[in-house]
A and B are shown apart, each in its own frame.
Chain A
């Protein structure tokens, strides 16, 4: 997810190319010769067909594949809004989403820079518009942050940077726009406008009171001070204006999503960002993730397939049904895949369920229904390649985790729209969903622990997600195969099978 993907020769954009881009892009290699088709070779890891020749007689290391992000210019997302309007919440959530779908994104929170600079926060007076020293420091912090933004986008292969600060004056926004232009970055503003005092108070309670700034204050003191802080910004606040700012690209979110104003969406990624922002909400709810009950193939140590539940699997389903009932969840939606084992599991839960093909387990292609021992026997090279890069590795005639993430994106989008949901799925699928909610990297994702007969209850809280693991006391085989030490393609069978979990 944190890799930087470029298309094979998308149009040359009039902006700075990063070093990473220059190496990975085959734009330079794109033939201007009209009719000599290049020979193709299939990348052994990702099973992508790519042209030869390449640099130094070696196959090109990286090839385009259409994923997301048609944009070549990096994008700078700029939040706008008074304190306690959800800017950081949005920044973090958006960053998490973009990274998950494969767009390298990072947030830059100016408040953090300020905390580094001014070790101890005294009071709201720091933010008074007439506090010259305060202003100077804040200006420096903003500049430092922008500098880091530049480095991230231009030198480190970042695609999107989220500049999280109030940015409430037109002047400040002009500075940022100029900075972006100089560096060839596109700019997209995300303004959050909210005047509902209850929402604001709730925000303050959830995330401000626990901030390092208020470590040594009690709740009332902190509340009073923060409200005065907001006032410091109010007088100079210039909201994005329909007329004056009509040439800027932005979305204005009003009252936590009751209304949106969208202006001049420039490209694919901005369109995706707008769509995402219009689908998220902050209504309290929980998401329950679990796998199907233990299946017959699980017991045999075989991967994939479409088998039914084992007796213990059926036992688990009953327990799951009882557990769900006991939770007394309001208006629960239940989703399954279209594979027998998840549907059988759902049948024991006395709630109507809906099937998603997108929730089907990863397609192991030629390795479907094999045990790991058999895979090692028939496809030792594949087995090793998979251990080398489990996220990107695609089974022959099958899928990769990377493919799975793309397949699951509509599920995530709908999960964002929904409230209480129970998702009954599969090991690889659950890892992908979990990685989204827990902000896990592409490296960690394929090794997340998702044992059978365990329900994870995820509840959004503050800027993150509370995870409760509920083990439903029904034994099951372990299906988790850790990464072995030796991932070399010439390794012994013993080395390859070192971490295979026990089975019948």
Chain B
């Protein structure tokens, strides 16, 4: 009965919903109708691109198709070689024409993204420092029925600005043939070109616009006329992120008894090797001398047992529990193939959206993990001891992996990943602690058809006892 209802549910997922049900069959309603254009505002080196990329990564992860449209990239396309800051002078008419054309092209592409590519949110990453420019964007949005939300970053701390320039500007394609000092000097003049004509969002004049102003990298925020759910989520996210250097350590629990037997799920304890790993992890962490490390585990025995070896306080999150495999809990893949062959095939067809009967999907997991991600953003140094599917979801968020890649990310036992935010992305250092463990990674087999042979289904199963 359960298998049947799961398949029915599954069948429905694949069609476009008809009748009165509004949603795709995701676990959370979309709650948003019009596409939204997020418009960045601010002088160069104020973190606009950093925010654009990070926000886009977050929105995609929680299921809102989002894309960045970076005007600088359009300009680099149009003007193959960058000479110097003179291009940005207000009286450089030729350049102004080019820049205007680039903006128009970007907006055109945004329209296409919404109408043809099922985009939900577009982030228009440019300075947008004049009222005139912003008015034209609002006009464009109105014509097309898009909502507009401005994000303005204001910062006058010379240290922060210099730091930004060093981290991301000096290595930009614009400065490929300059040394650091030249680049810095030119960039500062570039900023000046904009500064002269910069009109920030105004309390009075812009009172009917929806926006957030971020002051000094988050010490203060001004939020005006929030219109809807997604803007509220965006604001919440922006108010929780920070730029303080720190590292996030991700690991699975040590090898468990059920791992050894090739069984999924359950709540077993660590194997002998699992204990060994946990002890090594403890020594490793001590060696790292991490400042003020927080340790998080799930509610499942194997992650807690792992944390117990570390000799430091830890906190348990139910949200970090492994994906619920429902009727397949504690089965081996061979048993799943035997007892639920159709389910097994359906899972291979769309591993991200597939939900185990009476269980969860990766998509469900992502929604479950959202508060964890939000708190990870607030925190500094954190070690998360979790599970294979959970780690894949967290990793996909941190490394901007698509929902297609996510369920197949490699997260082997007895490996720690050290993630350190740098520039616009994340540095990943895998650390293997040299304690053997079974492989639990099952690749997507070639044949995903429901009529396939058991042999084809079981082709990619890792070894076990």
Contact = CB atoms under 8 A, between A and B. Distances in A.
B399 interface: no
Contact of B23 (A265, A267, A268, A354): A354
Interface in B8-23: 19-23
Contact of B28 (A264, A279, A358): A358
Contacts of A51: 304, 308
Interface residues of B, number: 59
Interface string B320-359: 0000000001000000000000000000000000000010
Interface stretch (B155-163, B191-199, B232-240): B232-240
B315 interface: yes
A34 B222 CA distance: 47
Interface in A368-405: 368, 397, 403
A40 B304 contact: yes
Given A48-B299, A49-B304, A9 B314 contact: yes
Contact of B308 (A11, A38, A42, A257): A38
Contact of A49 (B275, B301, B317, B375): B301
A27 B269 CA distance: 24
B364 A40 contact: no
Contact of B21 (A33, A64, A70, A355): A355
A414 B229 contact: yes
B232 A417 contact: yes
Contacts of B305: 37, 40
A284 interface: no
A65 interface: yes
A452 interface: no
B239 A271 contact: yes
Nearest to A11: B292
Interface string A37-68: 11010100001110100000000000111100
A260 interface: yes
Contacts of B243: none
Interface in B274-301: 275, 278-279, 282, 286, 292, 294, 296, 299-301
Contacts of A261: 220-223
A491 interface: no
A258 interface: yes
Contact of B239 (A257, A262, A335, A397): A262
A352 interface: yes
Interface residues on A, range: 35 or more
B225 A259 contact: yes
Nearest to A242: B220
Contact of B313 (A10, A33, A368, A406): A10
A264 B21 contact: no
B308 A357 contact: no
Interface stretch (A130-138, A230-238, A343-351, A425-433): A343-351
Nearest to B232: A279
Contacts of B240: 271
Interface of B: 5, 19-23, 25, 27-31, 207, 219-226, 228-229, 232, 235-236, 239-240, 269, 275, 278-279, 282, 286, 292, 294, 296, 299-301, 304-305, 308-309, 311-319, 329, 358, 364, 367, 375, 378
Interface of A: 7-11, 27, 30-35, 37-38, 40, 42, 47-49, 51, 63-66, 70, 242, 246, 257-265, 267-268, 271, 274-275, 278-279, 306, 335, 338, 340, 343, 346-347, 350-358, 368, 397, 403, 406, 410, 414, 417
12 contacts: A8-B315, A34-B286, A48-B316, A66-B296, A261-B221, A278-B223, A335-B29, A338-B25, A338-B27, A347-B20, A357-B27, A417-B232
Given A65-B318, A351-B20, A352-B22, 11 more contacts: A10-B294, A11-B313, A35-B282, A40-B304, A65-B316, A261-B220, A264-B220, A278-B235, A353-B21, A355-B21, A417-B232
